[in-house]
Structure 1
Amino acid sequence: MGKPKTTQVNKSSNMSFKSISAVTIRVGTAPNTEDFIAHESFLTARSEFFRRAMNGNWKEAETRIINLPDDTAKAFACYINYVYTGQLPTTSKTTSELKKLTEDKFAYHVDDLYEIIFGVFVLSEKLQDITTKNAMMEAALATAGLIGIDGSTRGPSYDVVNAVYNSTPVGSPARRLVTDMWTELSIEFIFSCFRYLHQGFVEDLGKSLQNARKPAENILVRKGVAAYQEEMKEG
């Protein structure tokens, strides 16, 4: 599956939105807040959250400052970059460049992509921005199709999975996607991560693995009773 060209851009092209006059979005909690300034129309055109905040019935409509104390500046910077440009501030690599990366560097690159993509999805869930949520699902699927030097692909880490489950409602498309991604992983790997996984994810993954299983053969019949009996010692 090819990478959608509308979801990635070199980090050097990352736009700054801190000097455009309109609405101020204050991200984080004091004293570590960061302000972003964006056109109101860009935000309200796609986000129900921003539409309600600026509809005249809330103090934000008067102060023109919208607080997002529970979110990170990194996630919002990526979100606003996508809103304005249709691109994420990630480092793009060609197929040949990816195959030149060591396994560790490939893993780091893909993990970074997943962290950004699902971070933007989680924020878009809160902001009720369906357009961006759908775009992030497309970007995540494209990332799942990236191939490393050994011909392998890579799914999201359990840190990313846990972040998704901690910040999205039951039935979220992102939950369904990370569950399907992990369903394709080896059982051995899944068990090695089991104690670190969000309980809701464990339950969803268990159901998905059960549904994906081939009809089990009758192992007892195939092995026979001898497989469960001890051999008699002679003498």
Structure 2
Amino acid sequence: MERLHKNGILDLGTKVITVRVGQEPSHTDFTVHESLIRKSSPFFEAALSRQWREATERLVKLPEADAQAFKLYVHWLYTGHPNIFITGNPHSSDRTQLVKDREIELTKLVQGYLLGDYPQDCDYKDTLADAFLEWGSRFWSGLAQPFKHAAPIYSSTTKGSPVRELIVDFTLWTQRHTCWDGVGDDELPNAFLCDYIRAREAKDRDVAARNSSPFFRFKGTCHYHCHSDDTCYREDIDSDDDIPHFDSLFPEGISDDK
């Protein structure tokens, strides 16, 4: 991860820029260290390295981006951790509230991942994919309709995107908990339904896939990463202490079974 020095300290520099997110005048401005975001994002590196208006005005506008999702990205830039989890009371008897919290977390994961296309930050998206696996390993049975996130994912990504496979696998693995009642034919993308059918047929033929959750089978791997042949963000980090440990983001003992 180039935004880190070899000693694990963030390379912040002294210059800052403003990132204006959303449509004006209801936009949100974020102040970010230029060196940090340029080293992590090819988009910002290109926008600020040439004699473009953005470089001169120290202002980059993202009118189509979501401010809450960009806030997650900024948090990750400075900490290396995604801030999507709602701690609350893991031992609460209010099952309805716990399910609502899980829904909010999954929505934040999806929105945060899709936001990563604006800065073209592969490390960020791969970190979110790993967080998704950690989240899924704990709460996969807590949602009745995970496929409702398929529409924004499929409308914002292209064929072969790892996050498409991720939401298909999530839906497939939770099918015994999944409730399809009340879902209209026009609510789910045709491409998602085709991918789901193909994945289900493959699962029926694969004993390992039938008996092993993808959240555990692919945890700690690059299966859902987008870096292709490039180095994984984990390998770019000199110390294991700097690799995101998602266990620390959960209160002790929190899981879907509580």
What is the TM-score when the length of structure 1 is the normalising length? 0.72
- Secondary structure of residue in 1 paired with 2:179: helix
Q: Note if contact 2:151-2:188 (Cα within 8 Å) is conserved in structure 1.
A: yes
Counterpart amino acid of residue 171 in structure 1:
G
> Whole-Å Cα distance in 2 between the matches of residues 45 and 156 of structure 1?
38
Question: Could you list the per-position Cα deviations for residues 22-48 of structure 1 after superposition, in whole angstroms to 9, with x for gaps in the alignment?
Answer: 111011112211111101111111111
Q: Contact 2:17–2:33 (CA<8 Å) still a contact in 1?
A: yes
Structure 2's unaligned 5+ residue stretches are: 1-13, 207-258
Partner of 2:173: 184
After superposing on structure 2, the runs of 4+ consecutive aligned residues of structure 1 that deviate more than 6 Å are none
Root-mean-square deviation (Å):
2.5
Aligned to 2:90, the other structure's residue is in SS state helix
Aligned residue for 1:70? 64
Partner of 2:163: 174
> Is 2:196 the counterpart of 1:193?
no
The equivalences for 1:63-212 within 5 A come to 63-93=57-87, 97-147=89-139, 152-154=141-143, 157-186=146-175, 189-190=179-180, 192-193=182-183, 195=185, 196-212=187-203
Would you tell me which structure has more helix in proportion to its own residues?
1
2:84, 2:109 within 8 Å by CA — same for their partners in 1? no
User: Where in structure 2 are the equivalents of 1:15-26 lying within 5 Å?
Assistant: 22-26=16-20
Q: Distance in 2 between matches of 1:105 and 1:112?
A: 11
TM-score, normalising length: structure 2: 0.66
C-alpha distance in structure 2 between counterparts of 1:101 and 1:112, whole Å: 18
Q: Structure 1: where are the runs of 5+ without partners?
A: 1-19, 216-235
| CA distance 1:28–1:35, change in 2 (3 Å) | same
Say which SS state the counterpart of residue 98 (structure 1) adopts.
Answer: coil
1:144–1:155 CA contact under 8 A, matched in 2: no
Q: What SS does the corresponding residue of 2:71 show, helix, strand or coil?
A: helix
* Alignment deviations for residues 121-168 of structure 1 (CA, whole Å, 9 cap, x no partner): 1111231111111110011111112249xxx44477344222111112
Matched residues, percent identical? 24
1:92 CA drift (Å): 4.6
Q: Which has the larger radius of gyration?
A: 1
- CA–CA separation in structure 2 for the residues paired with 1:46 and 1:21: 15
1:54 paired to 2:43: no
Matched residue type, 2:196: L
Q: In 2, distance between residues paired with 1:51 and 1:174?
A: 25
Deviation, structure 1 residue 72: 1.2
Tell me how far 1:197 sits from its aligned partner.
1.2
CA distance change for structure 1 residues 53 and 162 in 2, over 3 Å: closer, same or farther? same
Alpha carbons of structure 1 residues 70 and 86: separation in structure 2 relative to 1, 3 Å: same
Kindly tell me the number of residue pairs found equivalent between the two proteins. 191
Distance 1:214 1:104 in 2: 36
- What are the Cα deviations for residues 71-103 of structure 1, in whole angstroms up to 9, with x where unaligned? 111111111111111233344539xx4353433
Partner residue of 1:228? none
